[in-house]
Structure 1
Amino acid sequence: MSQSPARQRDQLTPGPEQAWREFSKAVFEPGALDAKTKQLIAVAVAHVTQCPYCIDGHTPSAKRAGATEAEVMEAVWVAAEMRAGGAVAHSHRALDAFDTARDPE
């Protein structure tokens, strides 16, 4: 069996891998936002970026930080609305393109 991607990254580039781990740890430490809120944000962002590994990692972390299943689902719905909002916000481009397109002959 081959080694894990994390171990392979660490062997190939130990400096950046360690820096990444330290950065990640620092980001998720409680500060102005508590750990639960940060993990719920991570769950939402993971859905927008469509990263299954992030979803698999941050959802249990959110639960361990005290998030409920309902809070996780609300975070996912916020992410869905924000992702869809981009399409709605850019709809003017389609309308502008339609207005400038030649009419059929």
Structure 2
Amino acid sequence: MNKDLYPKITQELADQRTDLAPEIMTVWNNFSKTVLKEGALPEKTKQLIAVAVAHVTQCPYCIRSHTKQAMRKGASKEEIMEAIWVAAEMRAGAAYAHASIAIDEMEK
């Protein structure tokens, strides 16, 4: 990871984020915990979804965090890689699907 572009998250940086917006951080942490806890979907599935979405949004912090969490929840390396491939297909599929917009514009 590019250390200039993506600094390592230290306790000091985490504390600064909290100090700058303590109420929002409390709400964010509660929201995150609530969304990712066991519900209609198992926690492992939610973490696999998070890994896939992290690859689509291209968040290196999220990729690391949710990959680690997915493994802690029992996801295999193969399941994680398959989730990443689903994300890649969706990202590529969106580009393909949107070609119809360009074709529509070219035909005007």
TM-score by length of 2: 0.86
Paired position in structure 2 for 1:31: 39
CA deviation map 1:73-105 (0-9, x unaligned): 0000000011111111111122122223xxxxx
Find the partner of 2:17 among 2, 9, 20: 9
Paired position in structure 1 for 2:62: 54
Find the partner of 2:71 among 63, 69, 83: 63
Gaps spanning 5+ residues in structure 2: where? 1-9
Name the SS of the counterpart of 1:47 in structure 2: helix
Name the SS of the counterpart of 1:67 in structure 2: coil
Aligned residue identity for 1:78: V
Aligned residue identity for 1:15: E
Paired position in structure 2 for 1:81: 89
Aligned residue identity for 2:94: G
* Alpha-carbon separation, structure 1, partners of 2:11 and 2:69: 24
Gaps spanning 5+ residues in structure 1: where? 101-105
Identity value in percent: 59
* Alpha-carbon separation, structure 1, partners of 2:12 and 2:89: 35
Stretch deviating more after TM superposition (56-65 or 89-98): 89-98
Higher Rg: 1
Stretch deviating more after TM superposition (12-21 or 89-98): 89-98
TM-score by length of 1: 0.88
In the TM superposition, residue 9 of structure 1 has moved relative to its aligned partner by: 1.3
Residue 94 (1) aligns with residue 98 (2): no
